[in-house]
Amino acid sequence: MASVQESSPGRAHRPATIRQVAQAAGVSHQTVSRFLRDGGVGLRPETVQRVTEAIEELNYRPNLAARSMRTRRPNRIAVVLPVSTHLVPIRLLNGAASAVHEAGFLLDVVGLEGDAVARSARLRTLLHPDNVDGIISFAPLAESLDGIDPMSFTVPVVVDGEYDDDMRSQGLLADASCVSEILGLLAGAGHRRFFHVAGDLRWASARNRRAAYQAAVARLGLDSRGIVDGDWSVRSGFEAATEVIAGSGATAVFAANDMVAYGVVQGLVSQGLRVPEQVSVFGWDDDEIGRYLRPALSTVSVDRERQGREAALRLLAILRGETPPPALALTSLHRIVLRDSTGPPPAAS
């Protein structure tokens, strides 16, 4: 039976101090302070482990207000998004937040709303050392920086990724090179007749995956039975499956994202077709629910948490006066995950 530690009457439980953490870890309080400030850079791995365990055991939380008064810094980092939208990149923010909090900073999320003048004014407010220590931007800042000389920045800014005002990925993040590998894997399993359900073509990622599908079909000498332009929704996948794909003779479907793929699977099943025995289905995004569907969905995993975390680590390195690590290579974000929704085509196809 666990013991209960009693406290003196009338005395609230006091939070752990940095010296108590140091004592529990068997190190000096200066070492703990260095760990909190620099994230363990330059410390021996065993020291980092002991300090980490002591912090977790004591549930230690840095006194940010006291540190702010001592250093005259706000101990806050702002993450800038294009607008406040229902398409908030939760996994991206979780990755950034984990690194920022581990370093003892608070994280503020700021949406750059309004026209160019309003955005510029909002950014001018952020670019002041009394407000934030640094900025991680997942928004294109060229327009918002109109009239602001980058050389005049008084806080460091890391711009990561390329998105438009609705968090639609552009540039490298909209890369679709995995599509060729997906079709190559399915063709290697014996598939020759394919179908594609695209995403909303206002997104560069949807357009790129559509174009990559067409290019791979031509390069591999495959037979495309059609393309339906959807809208990223389960409904668009279901309608495509029931209205077109089921009667097309296709044995493999590449869907632009997992939501569309869910709809395709359910639509095919509603038409009496078995997945993957008669039709294989491939998605994109590795949504958690896809791992638990029957059949589990083959997909492309995009490591947004790592993207957000490493963007934050680059900013933290700048704040410590270190050379920031290079930005993530695209290939380290995208990974093909094969599951039960794909297999060889029917023997008679």
Mean pLDDT of 96-123: 75
- Statement: residue 1 has pLDDT above 80: no
90 vs 163: which has the higher pLDDT: 90
Counted residue by residue, the chain has a size of: 349
| CA–CA dist 112, 119 (Å, integer) | 5
Summarize pLDDT for 299-309 with one digit per residue, the tens. Answer: 998 887 888 88
pLDDT of res. 93: 86
Chain position carrying tokens 């997104």:
203
Radius of gyration of the chain (CA): 25
Q: What is the pLDDT of residue 34?
A: 73
Distance in angstroms (rounded) separating the CA atoms of residues 174 and 116: 25
pLDDT band at 2 (very low <50, low <70, confident <90, very high): very low
In this structure, the number of other CB atoms found within 10 A of the CB of residue 96 comes to: 29
- In this model, does residue 342 exceed pLDDT 90? yes
Identify the top-confidence range among 82-96, 124-138, 144-158, 229-243: 229-243
Contact criterion met (CB below 8 Å) for 299 and 337:
yes
Low-confidence winner among 164-173, 198-207, 251-260 (lowest mean pLDDT):
164-173
Q: What phi and psi values does residue 193 have, to the nearest 5 degrees? A: -110, 115
- Does residue 140 or residue 150 have the better pLDDT? 140
Interaxial angle between packed helices 304-319 and 90-102, expressed in degrees from 0 to 180 and rounded to the nearest 10:
30
Specify the pLDDT at position 112. Answer: 66
Nearest C-alpha neighbor of 278 from the set 238, 248, 300? 248
Average pLDDT over residues 235-241: 97
Does residue 128 carry a pLDDT above 70?
no
Residue 307, phi then psi, degrees to nearest 5: -60, -45
Confidence of residue 74 (pLDDT cuts 50, 70, 90): low
Q: What is the pTM of this model?
A: 0.61
Plot region of 234 (φ>0 → left; ψ -120 to 50 → alpha; else → beta):
alpha
Residue 256: pLDDT band by 50, 70, 90 thresholds? very high
Domains of the chain: 18-53 (no CATH), 71-167 (3.40.50.2300), 173-302 (3.40.50.2300)
Using CA atoms, how far apart are residues 125 and 35, in angstroms rounded to an integer?
31
DSSP state of 146: T
Specify the amino acid at residue 327: A
Checking if the pLDDT of 37 tops 70, the result is no
pLDDT of residue 7: 37
Across the range 157-165, mean pLDDT stands at 63
Q: Residues 6 or more apart from 224 whose CB is under 8 A from it?
A: 194, 195, 196, 213, 214, 217
Q: Residue 26: what residue type?
A: G
pLDDT band at 11 (very low <50, low <70, confident <90, very high): very low
| Paired strand residues for 77 | 107, 134
Q: 242: burial class by Cβ within 10 Å (0-12, 13-18, 19+)?
A: middle
At 265-301, the pLDDT tens digits run 999 999 999 999 999 999 998 988 899 989 999 999 8
33-42, 142-151, 191-200: segment of lowest average pLDDT: 142-151
- Continuous H helices in 141-233: 178-188, 204-220
E strand intervals along 235-306: 252-255, 280-282, 299-302
Statement: residue 9 has pLDDT above 50: no
User: Is the pLDDT at 71 greater than 60, yes or no?
Assistant: no
| Cα 175 to Cα 113: distance, rounded to the nearest angstrom | 27
- The top-scoring range by mean pLDDT among 12-16, 45-49, 146-150, 183-187 is 183-187
Nearest Cα to 110, choosing from 98, 94, 123, 121? 123
Helix H or strand E segment including 161: none
Query: Given this model, what pLDDT does residue 5 score?
Result: 37
Average pLDDT along the chain: 79
What local confidence, expressed as pLDDT, does residue 230 receive? 93
Percentage of the chain exceeding pLDDT 90: 33
